[in-house]
Every structure is written in structure tokens, then in C-alpha cells.
Amino acid sequence: MDVRAAVAVGAGKPLEVTTVQLEGPKAGEVLVEIKATGICHTDWFTLSGEDPEGLFPAILGHEGAGVIVEVGPGVTSVKPGDHVIPLYTPECRQCPSCLSRKTNLCTSIRATQGQGVMPDGTSRFSIGGKKIHHYMGTSTFANYTVLPEIAVAKVREDAPFDKICYIGCGVTTGVGAVINTAKVEPGAKAIVFGLGGIGLNVIQALRLVGADMIIGVDINNDKKAWGERFGMTHFVNPTEIGGDLVPYLVNMTKKGADQIGGADYTFDCTGNTKVMRQALEACHRGWGESIIIGVAGAGQEISTRPFQLVTGRTWKGTAFGGARGRTDVPKIVDWYMEGKIEIDPMITHTMPLEDINKGFDLMHHGESVRGVVVF
Ligand code: NAD
Ligand code: AHE
Ligand code: ZN
């Protein structure tokens, strides 16, 4: 069938919105009509050429929501008409990783996902007979896409697509990093580096779990009001403090008898490896945990003095907020519908697919929190 898609034709080049061909679902696969898709920084990261797994031409996009149109042979858990959120972290419930109960990183189809193809090693997308790669197993920058059955979460039908698409990555990542990965407790002191589409969700989850002190750090002063809107208690612009950021932050967290200072939890939501080091070193001696959410480019490495770890700080990372997609995503949709978490104010811009490059520009210039393409 012919579908409308934004094709990434090469690193650093604008997406080309055009008609491409999509084959129907094979065994264990589903065809989904994508109704809306968010634009995440990670799409930009791959388009920029920084992603070691980046392939071109490809149909990017991993933050979608839509409706099942057709199912392939053997599909049992979903049917045409079901509302779903595509999962770049699938949940097969059978692989050693799923069965371990120690991780959400299902490994059953990760290898083919990284090669830009479906689990059978072929692509469903083409243009004029030439293959186009899938991306993160989702390719939501198209009005129809094909996904493995294990890579969709069935969600309630009264939830608006143009909002819950954000649960396909940003919301779940930020909220899950706090609840699943860090397991932040009430009364904690936390620092969030980078107040974009992910960082603001970290902040709203910190408020939800009852953190006492929520410090937001961003080089863009416009983010102060945004952070406060979701529960941030203090804002720091590192370019305006006139000294080193780490001692400045540690000093802010000193309280009463505890004159050592440092946060109980810090979160990197920038993808900048220097910021990741600052985030670790701003943790409290003895117990502080720093969670890396940001994704950094090929060849980049993190470093610190081993002393930082010897003295009890812990470095952790999280993908998709540690969420098991088919199990947890429907619950997060419920939280949104019940008013426990906010999404609407973070979706600052909506646009048709034809304007998707403007959506990337808005994100890149710090003007949007989340841009959403509505089909
Ligand atoms: P975004 O562009 O919306 O926000 C990034 C924010 O960081 C901006 O507000 C920017 O001003 C700020 N920033 C940039 N440099 C900074 C610095 N040196 N110090 C402080 N703040 C700085 O991006 P996003 O969509 O929120 O994504 C954030 C990061 O998380 C990206 O690296 C993205 O690829 C990654 N990500 C990871 C996961 C995961 O599962 N681990 C999921 C989604 C996104
Ligand atoms: N391809 C990159 C890795 C990118 C990455 O870490 N992606 C996150 C999700 S970011 C969503 O916005 C993720 O899920 N990682 C786990 C995984 O299996 O990819 C690279 O550096 O090679
Ligand atoms: Zn993302």
C-alpha cells in the first residue's frame, strides 16, 4: 500500500515527506495506522549522524499512537480496531531478559531492530522498489507502519492519540527513571540536568513521589518557568553562576547537621558527557545515585575519578524508564487519564507531517517542549 512518510535520506539532511510503499504484516506482525507521533531528541540524534546505529534511508520516529488495522498470521494479543502505542523496547515475556525480572531490555528482536529490519531480516518499507530501513522497530514518522506484535501496548480507547503518543517515549522515560530506576523516596533531594521533553517528566515524577528539593539545571533561562510549572523548587543556569557548577549545587543541598551536601538522586537529561560527570559528582557521598538518561554520540565516553564511586556514589543508566512496555504503558495512560500526571501543557506544538522539519527546528532551538505530528 502507499503511505505518507518523512524519509531520512542522509545524515544532517532534512527529512523528505513523500509517498512510500508498505507491505502488509507477516506472521507475528501488525499493521498500525499512526494517528500522532512525537518528535524526540533521539530522532534528531540519529538524523544528525551521531548514532552509531544510524542507517539511511530510514523512516525515523518512535513516539507514536494509533489503531491496529490488520494482523498477520498467529497474532493473538491484539485485533483490528485496538488502540496501541508502539514500543521501541518490546516485551516478549519469553526471552532470558524478560524472564530475569531484572531488566525491561527485552532482547528477542534487538539485533534486527538495530539493523533497521523486521525480525525476519527484511524491511516492509520501500520506494520505487528500493529498501527503506525501519528505525528502532517503530518508524512512526509514517501514517501506517508495521510492527511485531510484541512491540505494541494495547491502551484504552478514550485516550487522545495526540497526547498519549508522548507516552511512547518521553513521558515513560522520565517518569519511569524516577519510579522504576532510581526508586526515589519521599523527602529526597534531586537534581535534574536538562529541562526538555524528558527532564520535565523527571520533574513531574519527582513531585509525584514527594521529593522535597527538586533542583533544575539548564543553560536556557526559559526553562525556569517550565520547571516550576511541574514542581521544580530551584533553578540554576550554569552559565550564570560565575564558578564551578558541582560545588555550587552541593552547597545548595547542605542542610542542618548534614554539611557534606550533595543530592540523593541526580538525572542527566542532556546527552552531554561533561554534564553526566557533573551529575555524578553532585551526588551525596555515601549514597547518591546518578541516573544517565541522555544518549551520547559515537565515540563519546564518560569519566570521573574512581574516588567518586569508592566514596559511595552510584552511576546507573535507564532506557525507556525501565518500563516493561506491554505491562506498564497501559497503566501510564491510565495515570494520565486520571490526572495523576500531566501531558497536555508539555505538547507545545502540533503540526502536519509536511511540517516535521519545522518541528525539529523548534526542538533544536529550545522553543518547543514536545512537538507532535498529527496525521
Ligand atoms: P530536549 O532537546 O527536549 O531537551 C534537552 C535540554 O537539555 C534542553 O532544555 C537544553 O537546553 C538542555 N541542555 C543542553 N545542554 C545542556 C547543558 N550543558 N547543561 C544543562 N542543560 C543543557 O531533549 P529530550 O527529548 O528531553 O531528550 C534529552 C536526552 O534524553 C537526549 O539525549 C535524548 O536522546 C535522551 N533520551 C533518552 C531516552 C532513554 O530511554 N534513555 C529516552 C528519550 C530520550
Ligand atoms: N543507537 C544508540 C543508542 C540509543 C539509545 O540508547 N536509545 C535508548 C532509547 S532513546 C529513546 O529516545 C534505548 O532504548 N537504548 C537501549 C537499546 O537497546 O538501544 C547507540 O548509541 O548505539
Ligand atoms: Zn525518545
Average pLDDT over residues 27-44: 98
pTM: 0.98
pLDDT in tens, 171-225: 999 999 999 999 999 999 999 999 999 999 999 999 999 999 999 999 999 999 9
Average pLDDT over residues 30-54: 98
Q: Please tell me the predicted confidence (pLDDT) of residue 255.
A: 87
In the reported structure, the alpha carbon of residue 84 is separated from the centroid of ligand 1 by a whole-number distance in angstroms of 26
Average pLDDT over residues 92-116: 98
In the reported structure, the alpha carbon of residue 359 is separated from the centroid of ligand 3 by a whole-number distance in angstroms of 14
pLDDT band at 32 (very low <50, low <70, confident <90, very high): very high
**Is the backbone of residue 100 left (phi > 0), alpha (psi -120 to 50) or beta?**
alpha
Mean pLDDT of all residues belonging to the chain: 98
Indicate whether 275 pLDDT > 90.
Answer: yes
Indicate whether 135 pLDDT > 90.
Answer: yes
Distance CA 375, CA 33 (A): 9
In the reported structure, the alpha carbon of residue 369 is separated from the centroid of ligand 3 by a whole-number distance in angstroms of 13
Average pLDDT over residues 268-282: 98
Range 174-318: architecture per CATH: 3-Layer(aba) Sandwich (3.40)
Determine the atom of ligand 2 nearest the C-alpha atom of 170.
12
The CATH number of the structural domain formed by 2-168+343-374 is 3.90.180.10
Ligand 2, atom 17, lies closest to the CA of: 319
The response to whether residue 110 sits with its C-beta less than 6 Å from ligand 2 reads yes
Within a 10 A sphere around the Cβ of 217, how many other Cβ atoms? 31
Nearest to 46 by CA among 121, 165, 133, 173: 133
Task: Kindly report, as residue ranges, where domains of CATH 3.40.50.720 are found in the chain.
Answer: 174-318
Task: Kindly report, as residue ranges, where domains of CATH 3.90.180.10 are found in the chain.
Answer: 2-168+343-374
Q: Which residues hold their Cβ within 5 A of ligand 3, which is an ion?
A: 40, 42, 169
